[in-house]
Structure 1
Amino acid sequence: MLYSKTTPEQKRVALREMLASGTIQQFPGAFNPLSARLIEEKGFAGVYISGAVLANDLGLPDIGLTTLTEVATRAGQIARMTDLPSLVDADTGFGEPMNVARTVQEIENAGLAGLHIEDQFNPKRCGHLDGKNVVDLDTATKRIRAAVDARRDPNFLIMARTDIRAVDGLQAAKDRAKALVDAGADAIFPEAMRDLHEFRAIRDAVDVPILANMTEFGKSDLFDVNQLQAVGVNMVIYPVTLLRSAIGAAERVLDTLKRLGTQELRVPEMLTRARLYDLVDYEAYNKFDSSIFNFQIPDIR
């Protein structure tokens, strides 16, 4: 009932243990708190919170328009609804190194298990679009050092994302990943890798966990967990999968409603009332109310 009983500190330890387990961990992307609860119920290891999803949920494109307050607030609402560790996309850290430092502490305060900071210019672009620009090495490493210095909980995960592969090639991505680890990054997110060979190249370049982004309609093929584990990937995210599925279903229902004047044709595809009540733990709230309001009004005339 209400929110997770697992503390943020416990979730951070759990995330560290997962990444050190030798088994690849799947983190589907939640687009709201209820979807995070569904991810947990289905047995996944953790929850990913995509910057693109947070922007799209506001009706905005993923071009750096969201603010730290918006991201921290919504990420906290999602993270508190599940016992699983949640990792959030913090874009470029929302500014210069001092802004990055504040970002880390605000995300810590929101109860997340970790975040990733990228090396694009601010404002950024979606990682699987062309025309990206990355900052120089000094700026990229300053962001990560600021993030590491700012965290209070040593188990809060600081992941560094690099988009340099699409700009300067694979060797540049390997070199950038090494430098980011030297700057203190706990894990590396190499964005828009072209194939399994490239994931293996990053794996061989660093001795920290690496993440694979399996987003639909992107630069990478949709490799399965066995393929990714075979090349040394520790964690895989599916950032926009649930949002795309949900909005796609919503669009089909609206088309049907407009065309036929009723939603009845689509009802068999919908979540039932009973299933929705189950997901929000309706019965627990009902029992809680009953345990308090268990008196009878005296019959006084």
Structure 2
Amino acid sequence: MATTDHSLREQLDSDGIVLAPGVADALEGVLAERAGADVLYVSGNAVSSSVHGGPDIGLTTMTEMVTRVGQIAGAVERPVIADADDGYGNALSVHRTIQEFERAGAAGVHIEDQDAPKKCGHFADKTLVSTAEMCGKIRAACDARTNDEFVVIARTDAVAISGLKNAIDRCRSYADAGADMVFIDAPETDAHLEEIGAELAAIPLVINVPYGGKTPLLPADRLEELGYDLMLFATTAQKAKLQVLERVYEHLLETGDERGLTDQLATWETRDAVTDLERWRDLEDRYA
């Protein structure tokens, strides 16, 4: 991964909430970076859909996720945060998971306290490991990193299972175990978001507010007022892609005519600019 102007920790220590758009592949990463993103986020949900066309229910392996993160990190200069699901096993598995993500170029990961098989945080029928087991995973994650700049985020899915109070209590324990940030997924009301911000004000906070999920769609400026430090847009781009591609494929198969789509398509020149063709041509002239 190329050297960034600011590390992930430096971005998070700056004033204001950090916005991290979700990217599922290298092209999305490049586009998000060109749009001005300072931090990129690789969602397990988005990668699940992209890799095997299935839902986020624990089907994606560590190897698949690490491979995709490496491809994205290798294509961009901004720090990349990765979804490491439940760490892909016990605390020993987490130890190796962190090493693999760090080698792949991730600047940080989040690990959740779900029991296997894990599910998207906004799905029903999740189960949790004990707070003690999750704290062991967090300690293993912190010990496994070789670079102190690597950020370990502890996520809890407790709200839907054992309530908001337990989610907050778990986050305090996870921070005590060494987590750099905490992330309560799928809070269900504005009041939930306010209480999290108030109760965990001393701990850096992550929030994900997905369209169609359980969490109210509050804007970044309001979430910043409530005390959140990092806002993930986990699958927003992929949902846009789904909508557009469905229409494109249907039109092509119904009409057999691409001309009706030209106002919706990037130009050849735009694609060449995004994929940095000119730089590769310069390298070809130099070496070949």
Match of 1:263?
258
After superposition, give the CA deviation of every residue in 1:204-259 in whole Å (9 maximum; x if it has no partner): 33322111102121001221111111101111111111111112211101111121
* 8 Å Cα contact 1:196-1:231 kept in structure 2: no
Are 1:80 and 2:74 matched, yes or no?
Answer: yes
For 1:57-91, what per-residue CA distance to the aligned partner results, in whole angstroms no more than 9, with x for missing partners? 12121111111111111111011111111000000
For 1:159-198, list aligned pairs within 5 A: 159-198=153-192
Query: 1:73-130: per-residue Cα shift (whole Å, max 9, x none)?
Result: 1111011111111000000000011000000000000010000000001110110012
State the Cα deviation string for residues 29-68 of structure 1 (Å, max 9, x = none): 1121011111111111211000011111121211111111
What's the counterpart of residue 230 of structure 1?
Answer: 225
Ranges in structure 1 where 5+ consecutive residues have no aligned partner: 294-301
- Provide the residue aligned with 1:254 in structure 2: 249
1:297 matched residue in structure 2: none
Correspondence for 2:282 among 273, 281, 287: 287
Partner letter of residue 90 of structure 2?
E
Alpha-carbon distance in 2 for matches of 1:230, 1:56: 33
1:278 pairs with 2:276: no
Instruction: Calculate the TM-score normalised by the size of structure 1.
Output: 0.92
Summarize deviations over 1:179-219 as a string: whole Å, max 9, x none.
11011100011100123332232233332211110212100
Please say if 1:5 is aligned against 2:7: no
Q: Alpha carbons of 1:199 and 1:22: their partners in 2 closer, same or farther (altered >3 Å)? A: farther
Instruction: Give the partner amino acid of 1:162.
Output: T
Q: Is the Cα–Cα contact under 8 Å of residues 210 and 235 in structure 1 kept in the other structure?
A: yes
Number of aligned residue pairs: give it.
286
Question: Is residue 155 from structure 1 mapped to residue 149 from structure 2 by the alignment?
Answer: yes
Equivalent position amino acid for 1:235 in 2:
L
Partner letter of residue 5 of structure 1? A
Q: Which runs of 5 or more residues in structure 2 are unaligned?
A: none
Q: Which residue of 2 aligns with 1:138?
A: 132
Question: Match for 1:39 among 29, 32, 37?
Answer: 32
- Three-state SS of the structure 2 residue aligned to 1:237 is strand
Distance (whole Å) between structure 1 residues aligned to residue 105 and residue 2 of structure 2:
12
Aligned to 2:93: 99
The 8 Å contact of residues 177 and 205 in structure 1, kept in 2 or not, is answered as no
Task: Work out the CA distance in 1 between the residues paired with 2:40 and 2:216.
Answer: 22
TM-score by length of 2: 0.96
Alpha-carbon distance in 2 for matches of 1:215, 1:90: 18
Alpha-carbon distance in 1 for matches of 2:128, 2:169: 14
Higher Cα radius of gyration: 1
Task: Answer with 101-110 or 138-147: which moved more.
Answer: 138-147
The amino acid of 2:37's aligned partner reads: F
SS where residue 207 of structure 2 aligns? strand
The alignment-based identity, stated in percent, is: 36
Moved over 4 A (4+): none
